[in-house]
Structure 1
Amino acid sequence: MEFTAIPGVGEKTAASLARLDDAERALRDGDVAALARAPGLTEGRAAAIARGAIRRRHGDDGDFLATDRSRELYEDVLGLLQARTQTTYAEKRLETLFPSSTESRIEEVRAFAADAMKRDVDDAVLEALSGVSPLTSPPTQRVRERCLATADAERYAEAEAAYPELSVEIVEDARDVAELARSYSTVVVLDESFAGIDVEGDVRVRPDALEHPEDIVPERLLDFFAVNRGRLEASAEVHEAAGMEPTCSLAELRDGLSRVDDDGELVGDEELARLTAAVDDVDAAVSTAESVANDHLRDAIREQDVTIEGTDFLSLVEQGARVDSLLDRELADEYDDALTKAREHVVDSLSLQSGETGPVDRLFPSDPSFPVDHREDVAARLETELGAARDQRAARLKADLATDLGDLRDPVEELVRDALELDVELAVARFATEFDCVMPEFGHAGFAIEGGRSPLLDVPFEEVDPVDYEVSGVTLLSGVNSGGKTSTLDLVGVVVLLAQMGLPVPAERVELGVVEELHYYEKSQGTLDAGAFESTLRDFATLTEGAANRLVLVDELESITEPGASAKIIAGILEELDGQETTAVFVSHLAGGIREAAEFPVAVDGIEAVGLEDGELQVNRSPVKDHLARSTPELIVEKLAGESGNAFYDRLLKKF
Structure 2
Amino acid sequence: MDLESIPGVGEKTARSLSALDDPERALRTGDVAAIAAAPGISQGRAARIARGAIRHEHDDPGAFLATDRAREVYRSVLGLLKERTVTDYAAQRLETLYPSSRRSRIAEVQAFASEAIERNPDPEVLEALEGVEPLRESGDVRVRERCLATTDAERYTEAKEAIPELPVEIVEDAQGLAELARGYATVIAIDESFAGIAVEGDVRVEPNALENPAEIVPERSLAFFARNRNRLRAAIDVDRTVGLGSECDLDALEDGLSRLDEDGTVAGDAELDRLTAAADDVDAATGTAENVANDHLREAIREQDVTIEGSDLLSLVERGAGVDSLLSRELADEHAAAVEAARDHVIDALALESGEEELARRLFTDEPTFPVERDEDALGRLRTELTTAKERRANRLKRELAADLADRREGARRLVRDALELDVELAIARFAREFECTMPAVVDEEVGFAIDGGRSPLLDESTEAIDPVDYEVSGVALLSGVNSGGKTSTLDLVASVVVLAHMGLPVPAEHARVQRFDDLHYHAKTQGTLDAGAFESTVREFAELAQSGEGSLVLVDELESITEPGASAKIIAGILEALSGNGATAVFVSHLADEIREMAGFDVTVDGIEAVGLVDGELEVNRSPVKNRLARSTPELIVEKLAEESTETRPQSDGGASARSGSFYADLLEKFD
TM band (smaller chain): over 0.9
| Partner residue in 2 for 1:393 | 393
| Partner residue in 1 for 2:95 | 95
Distance 1:466 1:300 in 2: 99
Shift of 1:373: 1.7
Shift of 1:357: 3.0
C-alpha change, 1:489 and 1:300, in structure 2 (3 Å) is closer
Distance 1:47 1:155 in 2: 43
Is residue 626 of structure 2 the alignment partner of residue 624 of structure 1? yes
Distance 1:230 1:471 in 2: 53
Distance 1:505 1:304 in 2: 98
Q: Secondary structure at the match of 2:289?
A: helix
Letter in 1 for 2:580: D
| Partner residue in 2 for 1:635 | 637
Q: Matches of residues 443-462 of structure 1 in structure 2 within 5 Å?
A: 443=443, 445-462=447-464
Report the more deviating stretch, 190-199 or 36-45: 190-199
Deviations 1:99-143 (A, max 9, x none): 111111111101001110111120000111111111112443432
Q: Secondary structure at the match of 2:671?
A: coil
Q: Matches of residues 206-245 of structure 1 in structure 2 within 5 Å?
A: 206-245=206-245
Any conservation in 1 of the 2:118–2:429 contact (CA below 8 Å)? yes
Letter in 1 for 2:99: P
Q: Matches of residues 311-390 of structure 1 in structure 2 within 5 Å?
A: 322-390=322-390
Q: Which runs of 5 or more structure 1 residues have no equivalent in the other structure?
A: none
Letter in 1 for 2:121: V
| Partner residue in 2 for 1:4 | 4
Q: Matches of residues 69-218 of structure 1 in structure 2 within 5 Å?
A: 69-218=69-218
Q: Secondary structure at the match of 1:544?
A: helix
| Partner residue in 2 for 1:602 | 604
Shift of 1:163: 3.5
Report the more deviating stretch, 111-120 or 280-289: 280-289
Distance 1:589 1:205 in 2: 91
Any conservation in 1 of the 2:549–2:579 contact (CA below 8 Å)? no
Report the more deviating stretch, 296-305 or 98-107: 296-305
Any conservation in 1 of the 2:478–2:593 contact (CA below 8 Å)? yes
Is residue 28 of structure 2 the alignment partner of residue 38 of structure 1? no
Report the more deviating stretch, 193-202 or 388-397: 193-202
Shift of 1:213: 3.3
Q: Secondary structure at the match of 2:39?
A: coil
Letter in 2 for 1:651: D
| Partner residue in 2 for 1:463 | 465
Any conservation in 2 of the 1:247–1:412 contact (CA below 8 Å)? no
Distance 1:339 1:483 in 2: 99
Shift of 1:289: 2.8
Q: Secondary structure at the match of 1:482?
A: coil
C-alpha change, 1:125 and 1:303, in structure 2 (3 Å) is closer
Distance 1:361 1:238 in 2: 55
Q: Matches of residues 556-567 of structure 1 in structure 2 within 5 Å?
A: 556-567=558-569
Shift of 1:331: 4.5
Report the more deviating stretch, 435-444 or 479-488: 435-444
Shift of 1:575: 1.0
| Partner residue in 2 for 1:615 | 617
Distance 2:20 2:593 in 1: 59
Letter in 1 for 2:440: P
Distance 1:480 1:299 in 2: 106
User: Matched residues, percent identical?
Assistant: 67
Report the more deviating stretch, 400-409 or 150-159: 150-159
Distance 1:532 1:407 in 2: 65
C-alpha change, 1:152 and 1:542, in structure 2 (3 Å) is farther
Distance 2:547 2:605 in 1: 22
Distance 1:479 1:254 in 2: 63
Shift of 1:159: 3.0
Is residue 541 of structure 2 the alignment partner of residue 525 of structure 1? no
Deviations 1:326-359 (A, max 9, x none): 4444444554444333323322222221222343
| Partner residue in 2 for 1:472 | 474
Distance 2:558 2:225 in 1: 60
Shift of 1:301: 5.0
Aligned residues: 651
| Partner residue in 1 for 2:279 | 279
Q: Secondary structure at the match of 1:540?
A: helix
TM normalised by structure 2 equals: 0.93
Distance 1:90 1:152 in 2: 52
Distance 1:298 1:512 in 2: 99
Distance 2:610 2:197 in 1: 98
Distance 1:300 1:642 in 2: 121
Deviations 1:532-581 (A, max 9, x none): 10111111111112351111111110000000000111111111111112
C-alpha change, 1:546 and 1:361, in structure 2 (3 Å) is same
Distance 1:292 1:603 in 2: 105
Deviations 1:299-341 (A, max 9, x none): 555676754399xx9xx99xx9713444444444554444333
Distance 1:409 1:593 in 2: 71
Of the three residues 554, 557, 569, the one matched with 2:556 is 554
| Partner residue in 2 for 1:53 | 53
Deviations 1:369-401 (A, max 9, x none): 332222112111111111111111111111111
Letter in 1 for 2:462: P
| Partner residue in 2 for 1:652 | 668
Q: Secondary structure at the match of 1:520?
A: strand
C-alpha change, 1:305 and 1:643, in structure 2 (3 Å) is closer
C-alpha change, 1:372 and 1:580, in structure 2 (3 Å) is same
Distance 2:333 2:461 in 1: 97
C-alpha change, 1:649 and 1:347, in structure 2 (3 Å) is same
Distance 2:121 2:307 in 1: 95
Distance 2:273 2:256 in 1: 18
| Partner residue in 2 for 1:257 | 257
C-alpha change, 1:518 and 1:308, in structure 2 (3 Å) is same
| Partner residue in 1 for 2:659 | none
Distance 2:545 2:299 in 1: 109
Any conservation in 2 of the 1:605–1:623 contact (CA below 8 Å)? yes
C-alpha change, 1:339 and 1:644, in structure 2 (3 Å) is same
| Partner residue in 1 for 2:658 | none
Distance 1:629 1:297 in 2: 111
Q: Which runs of 5 or more structure 2 residues have no equivalent in the other structure?
A: 648-661
Any conservation in 2 of the 1:32–1:43 contact (CA below 8 Å)? yes
Q: Secondary structure at the match of 2:548?
A: coil
Letter in 1 for 2:665: Y
| Partner residue in 1 for 2:13 | 13
Deviations 1:480-521 (A, max 9, x none): 111111111111111111111111111111112101011111
Distance 1:408 1:308 in 2: 78
Letter in 2 for 1:371: P
Any conservation in 1 of the 2:549–2:584 contact (CA below 8 Å)? no
Letter in 2 for 1:557: L
Distance 2:305 2:472 in 1: 121
Letter in 1 for 2:430: R
Q: Secondary structure at the match of 2:246?
A: coil
| Partner residue in 1 for 2:657 | none
C-alpha change, 1:447 and 1:304, in structure 2 (3 Å) is closer
Letter in 2 for 1:45: R
- RMSD (Å) for aligned C-alpha atoms: 2.2
Letter in 1 for 2:407: D
Distance 2:93 2:613 in 1: 48
C-alpha change, 1:625 and 1:349, in structure 2 (3 Å) is same
Distance 1:329 1:609 in 2: 121
Distance 1:133 1:276 in 2: 33
